[in-house]
Structure 1
Amino acid sequence: MSTSPPSPASGAASGRTHSFRSVAVVLALSWLAVFFDGMDVNIYGAVMPHMLDDPGLGLTPGSAGTIGSWTTFGMLIGALVAGNVTDWLGRRATLITSIVLFSVGSAVCALAGGVALFGAGRFLAGLGLGGLMPICLAVVLEFAPPRRAALSTGLLMTSYHAGGMAATGLGLAIAPEYGWRPVFWAGVLPGLIAVPLLLRWFPESPGVLLAKGRRAEAEAIADRYGMERPRPAEAPPGGAKGRWAAVLALFRPGSRWATPLLWVASFCGLLLVYGVSTWLPQMMRASGWGLTSSVSFLMVVNAGGIVGMLIAGRTADRFGAVRVSAIWFLLTACGALLMGAHLPLWITYVVVFVTGIWLFSAQTMVYAATHTVYGPAERAAGLGWVTGVGRTGAVVGPWLGGILLANGAEGWGFTMFALAGVAGAVVIALVPLAGRLGRTATATDAATDADKAATGVAPTS
């Protein structure tokens, strides 16, 4: 291991500049991984009406909501576990393991003869899905060109919705004639397609390598992609002690109030994302729309999500991720209420598409906002916890939707989505104020300690 001091040299010294072109392969592979994530998450909602109509499976609206919560509970565990093993296994290995898990989980679902085994398969898939998203987000934020973090995050998340559209297309094309099981077999494709590509071309994080003492490898990867070489202060802390220190760092004076606000905003956003992904077709069907139209709404809302990510990323780079997220949450609330009104079909399609523009990117901009709250060394831990704690919203959304439908109160589902949008807007809008209060408190404490030191009194810390 090299013991020389860190060099300020960047990839420019090797003839490369840090741009989208220099990191294209990393962004493309991350995009592919999240594409399969979106496909797997949305497969359940896309074939839900067909599963409920299958007497051999024995699925009811109540058990369907419970299974949706098992999936997202697995995602919660997966997100937290992935954050704790990344510095041991590395981001590359953890990402590949996550893809293998949800591919195997989809195979279990395709083979399931009853609700219990199907639920176990969705829980296993959830473990893998939960680990994938925070890793890909952390990698993209690390490799993104300077001042392009929000745009890069938005571009990454278009893949989630492209995957959701693919899942809906599979549901429309295959399930009516061949049943829901072949659609889940398509969920095995990530293990066959993405894993070999990641093994061949996906790099390890320079920051993780530096934290493990592998400075030469870290600098070589940074140079290869035109990035600045990582500095020790930017490397995520390793080991159990380091992970605990990283968590405590999220509650330093400058971020101690912003951290819980980001958690609540993520809860609201993921309640919306997974509630809609799981229940939109069935809620629209219960509102009187036909089976084909009800499933098509899921494709339309994801198409809106793709457009929204492109708009939100560019807008946030100009006006700030927090401001964009707050406005997007409010617009989502308005769209959710309109979806509950029985408007003419073509108007409903427009409403669902436009709502998709705001709904998914509101949550993504919460992730992008962590870039402004946490320093480089805390960013991975901060993002992991925002994602992980927010997964409780992903658990509540499908479960609550199932309860409402089981009791014939599906109309309240749209109200639930609207309330989540309003709450998300309020808490994310408070993040800058919380940051300013934290910095003011820090400056006041420092001034007080200086005064005490000048008068011979012991400082407070």
Structure 2
Amino acid sequence: MSASEPSAGTSVRLSIRVTALCWVLVLLDGLDLFVYGATLPGVLADRDFGLTAVSGGEIGSLTTFGMMLGALASGILTDRTGRRKIIITGVTVFSLAAAVCAIAPTVAVFGAARLVAGIGLGGLLPSAIAMVMEYAPAWRKNLAVTVVMTAHQAGGALAGALGMTLVESMGWRSVYWLGALLLVVVVPAVVLLLPESLTFLLAKGKTERAEAIATKFAVPLEQFAPEPAAQRRGGLRGLFTASMRLTTLLFWIASFAGLLLVYGVNTWLPTMMRGSGYNLGSAISFLLVINLGGIAGMLVAGRLADRFGARPVAIIWFALTAAGVGLLALHLPLAVTYLVVFLTGAWLFSAQTLIYAAVGAYYPADSRATALGWVSGVGRLGAVFGPWLGGVLVASGLSSFGFVVFAVAGLLGAAMVALVRKAGVPRPDLATPRAA
């Protein structure tokens, strides 16, 4: 069968293959990222190591600063080197950095390793999202993104589970060793099974390689054709055309608010809940529950976004996140607290993911990876600020006030996404519902 006679079943199977591989990679991304919050109480309790609450917040910010650098760099480099190389490099970097964390003799070495890990983490995520959106059917792109991002929350839930089971029995270093060992199995599988972006290959004139992939998987190559060279405005220029510059800025601010929430809450939730009177075991379990809620919320949000659009669902999800985080400032009965934490996770992580889905629908293919990289990268300023702010509030004995601050960030995200419609028009080729 030639590429001009595609099989819908084969095309769907290729989408599933790419989505599954990226799901595993994003799982490792989430595990490596959220394991810091899960192990932080144990690291703080290790008096010989010497980590304090303030330096713990600073290291959390170093990680997200590295993610900002990685996301910004990947947004530019992916248009030159291809998404596949960026993805493979990212997972290799953060896995090796996990090994350094496991053997770190000092806080300084540990912090440096977390910075390097952040670079790998930041580079992988936007490239993986762009790859999944490229291969997903047009009527399921939002669901494909949210399905992949369930892996981020699954990684966070796994980090919470490991924090509860391994930190007290085997020490906090054991969790980082586990993250490093996964590199041995995952990277070779990705090298063998993950295809390069067909849009990238065609844009770079590598037609024979693109045809070989299209023929192998029986997909219609013409649907991946980039815009004519004269009409392309890839790279940063494509983000600041007259019709898109305000949209770009609004997405950046919304991502700042969303990532401030995601990383601030995930880094400090166990410690803040412990400061509110919960014991260590239940405090860490809240991290597990909020990420399980995130998984459920992703699947619901993806289906709603494919039906109603990513933008309106994101607005509602940000507003609900603000309400949920605000309620955590109250010392509710334990069962009610678990429910609130679960629902907050369902809204919190989906809200940020829907920003990525909306960005994919607002920008053309030749600048989509750059747009995702820079929305993620600029948003990392919020991710840098969130853990630092949480550390300052905890050190000052203001844990409950931290929940209020994070709730305000949710309202800011809702407001910025609500203004996007006035700044640009979504691309209909990526938002058209499936015909009945």
TM-score range normalised by the length of the shorter chain: over 0.9
2:182 alignment partner, one of 176, 190, 208 = 190
Secondary structure of the 2:424 match is helix
Q: Are 1:123 and 2:127 counterparts?
A: no
Show the counterpart of 2:275. 286
Q: Percent identity?
A: 51
Q: Matches of 1:235 and 1:106 in 2, distance apart? A: 40
Distance change (3 Å), C-alpha of 1:11 and 1:165: farther
Question: Which stretch of the first structure deviates more once superposed, 44-53 or 226-235?
Answer: 226-235
Give how far 1:231 is off.
6.8
Deviations along 1:300-343, one digit per CA (max 9) or x if unpaired, are: 00000000000000000011100000000000000001111100
* Per-residue deviation, 1:433: 1.5
Point out where structure 2 has 5 or more consecutive residues left out of the alignment.
Answer: 427-436
C-alpha change, 1:23 and 1:244, in structure 2 (3 Å) is: closer
User: Which of 55, 63, 71 is the equivalent residue of 1:71?
Assistant: 63
Q: Which residue is equivalent to 1:80?
A: 72
Range that drifts further, 79-88 or 165-174: 79-88
Contact 2:79 2:370 in 1 (8 A): no
Residue 84 of structure 1 and its aligned partner are, at CA, apart by 2.3
The alpha-carbon distance between structure 1 residues 395 and 244, as it changes in their structure 2 partners (threshold 3 A), is farther
Q: Which residue of 2 aligns with 1:302?
A: 291
Structure 1: segments with no counterpart, 5+ residues: 1-8, 438-461
1:78 partner letter? G
CA distance in 2, matches of 1:391, 1:358: 19
AA of the residue aligned to 1:410:
S
1:168-207 matches, within 5 Å, as: 168-207=160-199
CA contact (8 A) 2:130 2:360 kept: no
Residues 28, 370 of structure 1: CA spacing in aligned structure 2 closer, same or farther, 3 A cutoff?
same
Counterpart Cα distance in 2 of 1:89 and 1:372: 23
1:320 maps to a residue whose letter is: G
**How many Å apart are 1:16 and its aligned residue?**
4.2
1:167 aligns with 2:156: no
8 Å CA contact 2:15, 2:135 repeated in 1 = yes
Question: Are 2:421 and 1:429 aligned?
Answer: no
| Cα pair distance change 1:57/1:261, threshold 3 Å | same
After TM superposition, give the deviation of residue 228 of structure 1 in Å: 3.4
Asked if 1:312 is matched to 2:312, the reply is no
> Which TM-score applies when normalising by structure 2?
0.93
> Partner residue of 1:137?
129
Alpha-carbon separation, structure 1, partners of 2:141 and 2:228: 18
Report the TM-score, using the length of structure 1 for normalisation.
Answer: 0.88
Which of 1 and 2 has higher RCO (CA within 8 Å, sep 6+)? Answer: 2
Contact 2:5 2:220 in 1 (8 A): no
For the residue of structure 1 that corresponds to 2:138, the secondary structure is: coil
Cα distance in 1, alignment partners of residues 144 and 218 from structure 2: 16
Give 1:252 shift: 1.4
1:274 is paired with a residue whose SS is: helix
Which amino acid is 2:371 matched to? Answer: G
Please tell me whether the aligned partners of residues 79 and 235 of structure 2 are also in contact (alpha carbons under 8 angstroms): no
SS at match of 1:419: helix
Q: Pick one of 248, 252, 258 that aligns with 2:247.
A: 258
Which residue is equivalent to 2:36?
A: 44
| Among candidates 324, 327, 344, match of residue 333 of structure 2 | 344
Alpha-carbon displacement from aligned partner over 1:199-234 (angstroms, at most 9, x marks no partner): 110100111111221112213323444543257862
Tell which structure's C-alpha radius of gyration is larger.
Answer: 1
Cα 1:426–1:162 shift into 2, 3 Å: same
Number of equivalenced pairs: 425
Matched, 1:29 2:21: yes
Q: What corresponds to 1:5 in structure 2?
A: none
Alpha carbons 1:332, 1:418 under 8 Å: kept: yes
Q: Identify which of 202, 205, 210 aligns with 2:202.
A: 210
Q: Aligned partners of 1:360 and 1:294: how far apart in 2?
A: 19
Q: 1-side partners of 2:357 and 2:397: how far apart?
A: 38
Q: Which runs of 4+ in 1 moved over 3 A?
A: 9-12, 14-20, 222-228, 230-233, 242-245
